[in-house]
Amino acid sequence: MAARQIRERIGQTPRLAIVLGSGFSPVLKLAHIVHRLSYSEIPGFPVATVAGHTGELLVAQLGACPVLVLSGRVHYYEGHDMGRVTFAVRTMAALGVRRILLTNAAGGIHPEFERGDFMVLDDHINFMGDNPLRGPVEPGRERFMDMTRAYDPGLSDALFQAGIDAGLRMRRGTYLAVSGPSYETPAEIRAFGRWGADAVGMSTVPETITARHCGMRVAAVSCITNLAAGISKGPLSHEEVMETASLVGPRAAGMLLNFVNSNAIE
């Protein structure tokens, strides 16, 4: 029902969707907005409640590429079940979207990471205690989804180069997702680092799993907005996350613009 109503409102659907996490909304200043729908107007879409997540579905022309933009996401820690958290991604797949770019703010674990760096995800660790594929299997979908290549190598390479061309400090690594909303303890961060995690956050992984289950190619990037507990010299706060995100947002917008104009998404 949600996909049908969106299609009736916007007509032809772009083949690329972008989910804007904290710090990535400045890209909208570079885009020509063609259609704008509030999540509250779309049946089944949960409304975002976290600062920095506006909760709008946009059809936009970004550079030479038409894109579908999810401006803001809902999170597991807000009290939604995984079905609600990933509803928007399943709707994008039902509309015919075949490529999706996920963005987020994350805490840096790798000792070489600094505030303001950007990390293209090569892999992830799901430590949220839940999985969006749990429960009945949709007709035509697999029960046991292979996640060997969760993040598309071609899209990831293009995203990394797009960041370099935008003048950003780019990294690559493994993202670990926790349920939140409390930040991690220093002991947890030490454990996550030993597991191979380079950054930690509270989103993206459920969307990645769902998108891959729906046959979509996925790329993802984290803005390292703070250093994780035990690495940071002070207490962690959402204000620090938003401060860093606002400082690097304009250059992050350049990265996304470069990415959508690359040959990788054709």
Contact 106, 21 (CB under 8 A): no
Which of 48, 105, 216, 245 is labelled catalytic? 105
225 membership: H or E segment, kind and range: strand 217-227
Q: Looking at residues 28-50, what average pLDDT do you find?
A: 84
For this structure, is 243 an active site residue?
no
For this structure, is 78 an active site residue?
yes
Asked whether residue 166 carries a pLDDT value surpassing 50, the answer given is yes
Euclidean distance between CA atoms 166 and 251, whole angstroms: 6
Confidence of residue 53 (pLDDT cuts 50, 70, 90): very low
Which of 25, 104, 156, 203 is labelled catalytic? 203
66 membership: H or E segment, kind and range: strand 65-71
CA distances from 39 to 31, 74, 99, 262 (A): 20, 11, 21, 29
Euclidean distance between CA atoms 230 and 83, whole angstroms: 33
* 121 φ, ψ (degrees, to nearest 5): -75, 125
Which of 80, 94, 238, 240 is labelled catalytic? 238
* Close Cβ partners of 24 (under 8 Å, ≥ 6 residues apart): 103, 223, 245, 249, 252, 253, 256
Q: Which fold has domain 2-265?
A: Rossmann fold (3.40.50)
What pLDDT was estimated at residue 205?
A: 98
Predicted TM-score (pTM) of this structure: 0.93
For this structure, is 80 an active site residue?
no
For this structure, is 239 an active site residue?
no
For this structure, is 53 an active site residue?
yes
Which amino acid is residue 240, in one-letter code? E
For this structure, is 22 an active site residue?
yes
For this structure, is 110 an active site residue?
no
CA distances from 144 to 27, 108, 123, 240 (A): 36, 31, 18, 39
Contact 168, 252 (CB under 8 A): yes
Which of 25, 75, 245, 253 is labelled catalytic? 75
For this structure, is 126 an active site residue?
no
Which of 3, 17, 22, 156 is labelled catalytic? 22
Asked whether residue 162 carries a pLDDT value surpassing 80, the answer given is yes
Q: Looking at residues 83-112, what average pLDDT do you find?
A: 94
For this structure, is 232 an active site residue?
no
Query: Which of 30-44, 93-107, 231-245 is the least confident region?
Result: 231-245
* 3-class DSSP assignment, residue 234: coil
Which of 17, 88, 202, 228 is labelled catalytic? 202
